[in-house]
Chain A
Amino acid sequence: MRSVAADGGYLSGLGFESEKPAGLFRWLTTVDHKDIGVLYIAFAAGAALWGGTDAMMIRTELFTAGTDVWSPETYNALFTAHGFTMLFFFATPAFTGLANYFIPILIGADDMAFPRINAIAFWLLPPSLLLVRGGLVTEVLGKMLAAVGVRWELLFSLEPPTTGWTLYTPHSALLANPQVDLVLLGLHLSGLATVMAAINIIVTIFTERGENVTWSNLDIFSWTLLTTSGIILFAFPVLGSSLLMLVADRNFGTTFFAVDGGGPILWQHLFWFFGHPEVYILVLPAFGLVSLILPKFAGRKLFGFKFIVYSTLAIGVLSFGVWAHHMFSTGMDPRLRSSFMAVSLAIAIPSAVKTFNWMATLWGGNVRWAAPQIFCVGGIMTFIVGGVTGVFLASIPVDLVLHDTYYVVGHFHFIVMGVITFAAFAASYYWFPLLTGRMFNRRLGRIHGYLSIVGVFLAFLPMILIGYEGLPRRYASYPESFVPLQQVSSFGALIIGIGVLIWLTNMVQSYRLGPIVTDADVWNLRESGQFSREWQWFETQLEERTKFRR
């Protein structure tokens, strides 16, 4: 860790306390919430880059109509791995990391309620990722051995699974590939990690709040993470149990999901009872970040704070009542079907409440287009497109036409690549000075912001149109007539990718060489009375450093 800098006594943000052991050992043994937060964030960034590679490979295949780049099996493996990696190993850990770092600071606590469990929860993730993408790792080993002349067939027997992230039975139950079992165990392990982190967040917010932090002045980020963690607590155990039932079906002859047992539809019910809340698990923290960051660059307080909190709680509850909208085309009872349609339409209301509150916050504000703000507003734009297309999907007749077409992929990417990833980027810029003690290159940050907005629209609007024309998803080849739109989409993906590389360069180089922050009010927040708790904390840290130097 660098400890002496040009100004004589500067400590980087990752090296605040001096009594910690140095180097690798510190990171392996730490139970400090800030260090664990940083570990989570680094892990999530690595996973995102890996999953992004998969996305680029998917788009390369789809650039031409035939299957001329990868084989169909490789293609299927690619989108399966892409889905798993992005949902379970990028988005969830990224927000858990931010929660770990900032919630204790925002609520005036010394640390999380259970620091050791916190560390364990993090350290379960790397093995889960290795299990889920294990086929690759064993094959790497196999190739290394083969290069020196040893050929160990076992290492080549694990093929990347081709089930899709929804793991629909009977396909996933019947695939002979033993890697599928490892995937199920890996996902189960990551679920344990997620539940442990969620319990920690809930208990921390309930019991560790400082004297002057009450429910009514709890910040919006903590509110959304509290709700998210509540959803996790009810959703993930269902996933865990279903995964174990599937493992049993595959290996021990049980018939939970066999045709003459519970039937394949049982899997879909259990999976989506988890799967739909999961999308809110991902999006609520993103909403929280937008609600937190947007007002700082609008020069005004968040409009309708209370209603944003209520709408968050409402979404948390309603998210468990809509799962069967993923199953409209499976032929369930029409009366049941329409009740799920009604709840799905209802959940659009609290989402719209948030959107209107954000717009009202911007209204008449003194908006500054710094990188975090570009990402917040870009995220609202993509969320509107993602949300409106979602309302269409929630209505049964439309869904029966569009189900399992590219329309669906376009819809959810406006949300996962749009608002979710954008909020993560916004946070990475907004808190960068606090985390590292240095400033990033603001021009590059803005360029990244604009590129990402253009990229997302170019990449995913064509998918909506392709879906309207009826092209089903998950096929490596497609009719010639779709070539132009598919190519626009691949081009958009490339632009997103270039933006990500700019981000990575900016983060790494600014961490090493960026201008040093000496005044905690990097964003001029005092002016509008929004110099919030984490920045006040940062200010005392900077003061301590100066004392240390003298």
Chain B
Amino acid sequence: MKRPLAAITGGVTGIAVMSVLLLFLEVETRSNLAIFEAVARFAGMPGNVAFGFVLFVLAGVFAWPLAFMALEEYIPGGPDPATRGMVLAVVLWVVFVLTGRGDLSGGLLAIYVIFTLLAHLCYGFLLGAVYGRLTSGGPLEAERYDPTDVSQ
């Protein structure tokens, strides 16, 4: 598959799972975290939740995956593209937490920080893994398992 298309497919998968995760978190916490307001702030649209969300999806489907494709070789964590995707996602998450946390504090802030990190890691993992699957012929080289070697 063409590399940009593979990256976008990865982005679609990642953003779909991530949105569902965030949505569940939002609902399960009875909207205490206001995740989608945070998404809107992250997307630079404070207050406008619907539009902010659309921007968030577009960035997740096009901007980050294409950036990932272009930068792949420079991102640490290789050769596994999924690990590299997670590294990229952590960078995005730092920005997300800084711009989006609003006036949360205490326990809510802790929950917010941890679960948004997990959601980002899922996104990055799926982005990289799907991209890697669609662009290369097979899985990465793997060594054979040797039961006598304790370092494995």
B107 engages A63 (CB within 8 Å): yes
Asked if A333 lies at the interface with its beta carbon under 8 angstroms from chain B, I say no
Q: How far is the CA of A212 from the CA of B115 in the complex (A)?
A: 52
Asked if A399 lies at the interface with its beta carbon under 8 angstroms from chain B, I say no
Residue of A nearest to B138 (CB): A4
A residues in contact with B108, CB < 8 Å: 60, 69
Asked if B143 lies at the interface with its beta carbon under 8 angstroms from chain A, I say yes
Q: Beyond A74-B29, A515-B152, A521-B147, is A6–B139 a contact (Cβ under 8 Å)?
A: yes
How far apart are A372's CB and chain B's nearest CB, in angstroms?
14
A143 engages B27 (CB within 8 Å): yes
Q: How far is the CA of A71 from the CA of B108 in the complex (A)?
A: 12
Per-residue interface assignment for chain B, residues 129 to 152, with 1 indicating a CB less than 8 Å from any chain A CB and 0 otherwise: 100000001111111111100101
A136 engages B144 (CB within 8 Å): no
Asked if A139 lies at the interface with its beta carbon under 8 angstroms from chain B, I say yes
Asked if A528 lies at the interface with its beta carbon under 8 angstroms from chain B, I say no
Residue of A nearest to B21 (CB): A53
Q: Beyond A7-B144, A521-B147, is A69–B138 a contact (Cβ under 8 Å)?
A: no
Per-residue interface assignment for chain A, residues 49 to 69, with 1 indicating a CB less than 8 Å from any chain B CB and 0 otherwise: 000011011001101100011
Q: How far is the CA of A99 from the CA of B125 in the complex (A)?
A: 31
How far apart are B101's CB and chain A's nearest CB, in angstroms?
15
Q: Is the interface of B mostly helix, strand, loop or mixed?
A: helix
Q: Beyond A516-B145, A522-B147, is A56–B36 a contact (Cβ under 8 Å)?
A: no
B141 engages A147 (CB within 8 Å): no
Asked if B110 lies at the interface with its beta carbon under 8 angstroms from chain A, I say yes
Residue of B nearest to A8 (CB): B138
Q: How far is the CA of A438 from the CA of B106 in the complex (A)?
A: 42
Asked if B75 lies at the interface with its beta carbon under 8 angstroms from chain A, I say no
How far apart are A511's CB and chain B's nearest CB, in angstroms?
10
B residues in contact with A74, CB < 8 Å: 29-30, 32
A438 engages B142 (CB within 8 Å): yes
B142 engages A516 (CB within 8 Å): yes
Q: Chain A CB within 10 Å — which of B28, B106, B118, B140 has the most?
A: B28
A69 engages B144 (CB within 8 Å): no
Question: What's the tally of chain B residues with a CB closer than 8 Å to chain A?
Answer: 38
Per-residue interface assignment for chain B, residues 22 to 34, with 1 indicating a CB less than 8 Å from any chain A CB and 0 otherwise: 0111111110100
Q: How far is the CA of A140 from the CA of B35 in the complex (A)?
A: 13
Residue of B nearest to A523 (CB): B147
Q: Contacting B80 at CB < 8 Å: which of A7, A64, A69, A513?
A: A513
Question: What's the tally of chain A residues with a CB closer than 8 Å to chain B?
Answer: 46
Asked if A433 lies at the interface with its beta carbon under 8 angstroms from chain B, I say yes
Q: How far is the CA of A433 from the CA of B146 in the complex (A)?
A: 12
Asked if A517 lies at the interface with its beta carbon under 8 angstroms from chain B, I say yes
Q: Beyond A60-B107, A69-B32, A516-B144, is A136–B129 a contact (Cβ under 8 Å)?
A: no
Asked if B50 lies at the interface with its beta carbon under 8 angstroms from chain A, I say yes
Q: Contacting B142 at CB < 8 Å: which of A5, A140, A441?
A: A5
Q: How far is the CA of A61 from the CA of B137 in the complex (A)?
A: 49
A residues in contact with B30, CB < 8 Å: 70-71, 74
Q: Beyond A53-B28, A140-B27, A144-B23, is A68–B142 a contact (Cβ under 8 Å)?
A: no
How far apart are A22's CB and chain B's nearest CB, in angstroms?
14
Q: Which of A3-37 contact B (CB under 8 A)?
A: 4-7
Asked if B17 lies at the interface with its beta carbon under 8 angstroms from chain A, I say no
A70 engages B139 (CB within 8 Å): no
Residue of B nearest to A519 (CB): B147
A515 engages B111 (CB within 8 Å): no
B138 engages A147 (CB within 8 Å): no
B residues in contact with A4, CB < 8 Å: 137-138
A residues in contact with B110, CB < 8 Å: 60
A147 engages B107 (CB within 8 Å): no
B residues in contact with A61, CB < 8 Å: 107
Asked if B53 lies at the interface with its beta carbon under 8 angstroms from chain A, I say yes
Q: How far is the CA of A309 from the CA of B67 in the complex (A)?
A: 60
Asked if A154 lies at the interface with its beta carbon under 8 angstroms from chain B, I say no
Q: How far is the CA of A53 from the CA of B23 in the complex (A)?
A: 14
Asked if B15 lies at the interface with its beta carbon under 8 angstroms from chain A, I say no
Asked if A434 lies at the interface with its beta carbon under 8 angstroms from chain B, I say no
Q: Which of B27-54 contact A (CB under 8 A)?
A: 27-30, 32, 36, 49-50, 53
Q: How far is the CA of A6 from the CA of B136 in the complex (A)?
A: 12
How far apart are B18's CB and chain A's nearest CB, in angstroms?
14
B145 engages A433 (CB within 8 Å): yes
Asked if B66 lies at the interface with its beta carbon under 8 angstroms from chain A, I say no
Asked if A518 lies at the interface with its beta carbon under 8 angstroms from chain B, I say yes
Residue of A nearest to B19 (CB): A144
How far apart are A165's CB and chain B's nearest CB, in angstroms?
17
Q: How far is the CA of A524 from the CA of B150 in the complex (A)?
A: 13
Q: Which of B61-106 contact A (CB under 8 A)?
A: 80, 82, 106
B152 engages A70 (CB within 8 Å): no
Q: Contacting B111 at CB < 8 Å: which of A57, A139, A140, A523?
A: A57
Residue of B nearest to A136 (CB): B27
How far apart are B105's CB and chain A's nearest CB, in angstroms?
10
* Additional 10 contacts, C-beta under 8 A, given A6-B141, A60-B108, A60-B111: A6-B140, A60-B110, A61-B107, A64-B106, A144-B23, A147-B36, A438-B142, A439-B152, A515-B152, A522-B147
Residues of chain A whose beta carbon lies under 8 Å from any beta carbon of chain B:
2, 4-7, 53-54, 56-57, 60-61, 63-64, 68-71, 74, 136, 139-140, 143-144, 147-149, 433, 438-439, 441-442, 501, 508-509, 512-519, 521-524
Residues of chain B whose beta carbon lies under 8 Å from any beta carbon of chain A:
23-30, 32, 36, 49-50, 53, 80, 82, 106-108, 110-111, 114-115, 118, 125, 129, 137-147, 150, 152
CB<8 Å pairs between A and B, sample of 5: A4-B137, A136-B24, A143-B26, A512-B82, A514-B142
